[in-house]
Structure formats: structure tokens, C-alpha cells
Amino acid sequence: MVGAFARLGARAIGLDINAAAIAYAHRHFPRCEFYCESLRDFRARGLHFDFVFSTEVFEHLAGPSEFMATLDAITKRGSRVYIATPDSGHAAVPADLSQWDQIQPPAHLQFFNREGLSVLFRRYGFVLEKAYRKRSPARSLVFRREAMSALKP
């Protein structure tokens, strides 16, 4: 995605904790900027973004607080955040969650539905701007930063 956004003229930056993924990105997209570091180290850089794209990340985190603290630090009023993650509230998810193929500890550690993500993002000053319908049990949402958070990491 960093390469795609860069081709569109954006100053795009990639972040991952996987050194192999970052090495691959550097080899294939040498004109783009990538960091292999924790969310805490990344937000300490003091960078700010108008748009954050995060897909298939949220479910791998032990909890949402570091991710949300990072969004709080790197976005400003009017910034948008695109999130894609498995949707535990989707009609295709079995009533017995233990039967859902997305339950994959230790790879997948947390799950949200539209309401849960909306509540979480609202705590940090974001409002849901767009929800994309999916046939598969996944959730894609765009949030807009409306206010600055009073929460501290």
C-alpha cells in the first residue's frame, strides 16, 4: 500500500515490526520510507498524518491501547483512519465463536465488531465516517478525527 499511495503522489510511510517484511518493502519500493519498530518508538518520531491505512493489524495486537495511543499522537483534527479487521459481529460468524476460523491464538488476539470499534475510536476523538459492507466476516471502516483526545497513554 505504501508503494500504491506513493505512486498517487502521497508521502507514504510504512511501519511493521517484522524485519523481513520491511526488508522486502525496501527492496521492492526503494523510494519509499519504512520503519521496523514498535508503535511506541514510531509515535516518538513526532510525525503527523492526514490519512492512516491499517489493514489486518488490529486483531494481532494484545490490546488496543498502544495502537490507539499511536493514532492519538500521529493524527490531527480532520485526519482519517482506514481500519480493516475481522468482524466478530458479521452474520457469517458462527454463534459459537470457538468455531470461527479467525479464532487463531496466538496470531489473532482480539476481535471487534462495528459498534465496538466505533465506541473505542469515539473515546479518542474519532467519528465513524464510512462503513463498507463485506460478504466475508471482515470490517472496513473509515474514521475521521473530530476532536483531540483527553486520554493519555
At residue 153, the pLDDT reads 46
Q: Which three cell numbers stand for residue 120?
A: 473505542
State the Cα–Cα distance between residues 2 and 89, nearest whole angstrom.
30
- Sketch out the chain's domains with CATH numbers: 56-145 (3.40.50.150)
Summarised one tens digit per residue, pLDDT across range 50-94 is: 999 999 888 888 889 999 999 999 999 999 999 998 888 878 877
- pLDDT above 70 for 150: no
DSSP string, 43-110: HTT---EEEEEEES-GGGSS-SHHHHHHHHHHEEEEEEEEEEEEBTTSTTS-SSGGGSTT--TTT---
Question: Exposure string (b/e) for 70-97, b if CB count within 10 Å is 16 or more?
Answer: bbbbbbeeebbbbbbbbbbebeebeeee
Summarised one tens digit per residue, pLDDT across range 118-149 is: 999 999 999 999 999 888 888 899 999 998 76
At residue 131, the pLDDT reads 94
* Burial category of 14 from C-beta neighbours within 10 Å (exposed 0-12, middle 13-18, buried 19 and up): buried
At residue 97, the pLDDT reads 76
pLDDT band of 112, cuts 50, 70, 90? confident
Summarised one tens digit per residue, pLDDT across range 22-57 is: 999 999 999 999 999 999 999 999 999 999 999 988
- pLDDT above 90 for 102: no
